[in-house]
Structure formats: C-alpha cells, structure tokens
Structure 1
C-alpha cells in the first residue's frame, strides 16, 4: 500500500464554515445529500446566526476532501463566497449525517 492511499483512508475530522448566500436556499439539505452520496461520512450541517453554514464531517480523509471540494466549487444552491476549514482528529460524535 502506498503512503498516499494510507493518507486517503486515514480517519479525519473537518469543520468548514461556508460564507455567502447559503441560508434559506436548501444548502444544508444538499450538503447532507452530497455527504451521503460520497459515502462513509458522518457529521452535521447547521445554520449559524451570522449567516454562515457550519459543516462538521468525519470519515476518510479522501471523503472529507471530496465534500470540501464540492462546498468550494460544486453546484451548490445559493452562492458560496468562501469556505474556511480546519482539520482535526475524529471524535466519533455522530452516527449519521444530520441537519440541525
């Protein structure tokens, strides 16, 4: 097994904050659907009081990166002006991918 595939399979946790016109446009629903389509991802997507959407996701590094790429450049509802993310060690907080 190559180092790259080991990194891609490594369990990861990513928290992303999405800025733009992302509330009231179905953004959370589409984010959950995309996470489920990627497969193997657990977490939560929620609206924040300042107009951003927060996405907390755990799964393989590759799966998390695919969701992040979609958040940044995918066919998302509304308008994404920017995404900021941090990476961390998985905590196992979620059993599914839910909308709050």
Structure 2
C-alpha cells in the first residue's frame, strides 16, 4: 500500500490505529483460491496451535517461539488466506486442505 495515494494511505493508517485489519486489494486478489498451500510450514504450525483458541503467549511457549514471531506468522497466514483474523485464517486454510 506504500504506493497508494496519500488519502488511501492515511485511511489505512487510521484503520490500523483503530485495530482494524488492512489488506491490499491487489495482494488479496492474488491470493490463490485453492490448490497448493501458500503457507509456510511454520505458519501452518502456528495456525494449528491456534485451533484451541490459545493466546499468542501460549502458542509461543508451545512452539518454542518468541511472541513477536508468533504474531508475524499469524499475520502472514491471515494475509495469505485473505482473511481478517487468525480464526478466519484457520477456517479457510482448513477448508482448502492446507493444514
């Protein structure tokens, strides 16, 4: 989104500050509808660990990762699945057979 017009970028910053997810529509359109998984092995591991509604701290402890690393993997998974949060990402990845 860094190449977006200033008003679009400012709106995205306000949405993120309000806690809303922001996904670049071009990136979302490029997300595969099905087929081969775009998720890395670690993103799959983190999503699977999130099935139990575990907190980031619990997932980090279970997988021997830093909390920030878990957040990064969850962010990557939500972006690649075109979803807004980890539970939606988990559902989509599961439905597409990526887990």
Q: TM-score scaled by structure 1?
A: 0.28
Q: In terms of Rg, which structure is larger? A: 2
Query: Which protein has greater RCO, CA pairs closer than 8 Å, 6+ apart?
Result: 1
Q: TM-score scaled by structure 2?
A: 0.28
- Larger relative helix fraction: 2
